[in-house]
Each structure stands twice: as structure tokens, then as C-alpha cells.
Amino acid sequence: MNSDPHAGIVQRLLAARRVQWGVAVVSFLEATVLPVPMELLLAPLMQARRRILWRLAAAALVGCLAGALAGYAAGHLLRASAGEWIVSVAGGGPQLARAGELLRRYGFWFVVSVGVTPVPFQVAMVAAGASGYSPAGFVGAAALSRGLRYFGLASLVWRFGNAAERLYRRHRRDVAAGAVVAVAAAWIAFGILR
């Protein structure tokens, strides 16, 4: 019996005629209300569909950006209701006020740092909208950070094949911790964290 809770979703996506659309929809949901790392679904999909792995990464990025824009809009238009609900679903309620402050001060690089670390991205989306941060800057930062994640995973699958998922699962906490340390070191170096 398979103990992976994502196996059923992966199997349904693999059977879908338009797997890229399915990936985009799941990525949209992950960006807005499902705090589940997209990589857990993408790695086995990319292994099974290697000939379209770059399209799968692009579909994940498009879905994520659509979700990010929805979260930004919720933060901008519905600050006190839907925006806070999205953040609370992701478990980031206490982080929202601090995120808004950091976003006003460091904008683009704050969004990039949230996008590459395990901090729920919903916090950055809603904070960006609520603080009135530039939509173009937000989309650019989201595209850079999430593009690094999704296309980085595609590169891993392309290079290591079936071993990529095992590598990702075995080292994902180490990579997440490394990303947090790297971002914190960069923030310290540039005087953002004191």
C-alpha cells in the first residue's frame, strides 16, 4: 500500500489528457489555499513525463503566478476579509504585519526571499496587495523565485532521472534550511536583519 498522500493526485494527473492544465490548476490552488509544496507532485510527474518536463515546470509557474495575482488582489481589495483568510489558511497570520513592513522597505527582494524559502507564499501575496506594492515588481519577483524552484526541479529530473525524486525527498529539508540560511545571510550582509 502506498503511504504517499499525493499519489492519487499524481495518478489522476498522469492519466489526464492535458496534464499541463492539471498542473497549472493544482499550482494555482497551492499558491492560494493549499499549503503543500508543489515539488511533491511535480517530481513524480516530471519523471513519468520527461519529454514534457519543461512544459510541466512552465505550467506550474503559470498556475502559481495566477494564484499569486489572485492573492495580491485579495490583499489589495479585501484586506480585512479574504486576504487575511488566505494567510490564516496557510498558517501565516502572525507573519502578515511583519511581512508588510519588510515589503515596504525591501520590496522585490523580500518577495524573492519568501518565494524560495518554506515560508508560506500567501503571506507575501497578501502583504504585497495590502501594502500597495507594485504589481509588476511583485509578479517579477514571484516569477523569479518560483521559476527557480520549478525549473530547478526540472533540471534535477533531467539530470538525475528517476533518482531525482529520491534526492528531493531525502534532501528537501536540508535544501529548505539552506535556502533560509542563505536568505538570512544575504539579509544580514545587506543590513536588512539587525
Give phi and psi for 178, each to the nearest 5. Answer: -60, -40
Summarised one tens digit per residue, pLDDT across range 8-55 is: 665 666 566 688 888 999 899 988 887 777 888 888 888 888 889 999
Mean per-residue pLDDT, 164-181: 62
d(CA 161, CA 47): 6
Which residue type sits at 161?
A: G
pLDDT at 98 over 50: yes
Is there a contact between 123 and 92 (Cβ–Cβ < 8 Å)? yes
What count of other Cβ atoms lies within 10 Å of the Cβ of residue 140?
Answer: 14
pLDDT at 143 over 70: yes
Mean per-residue pLDDT, 114-133: 81
Is there a contact between 142 and 64 (Cβ–Cβ < 8 Å)? yes
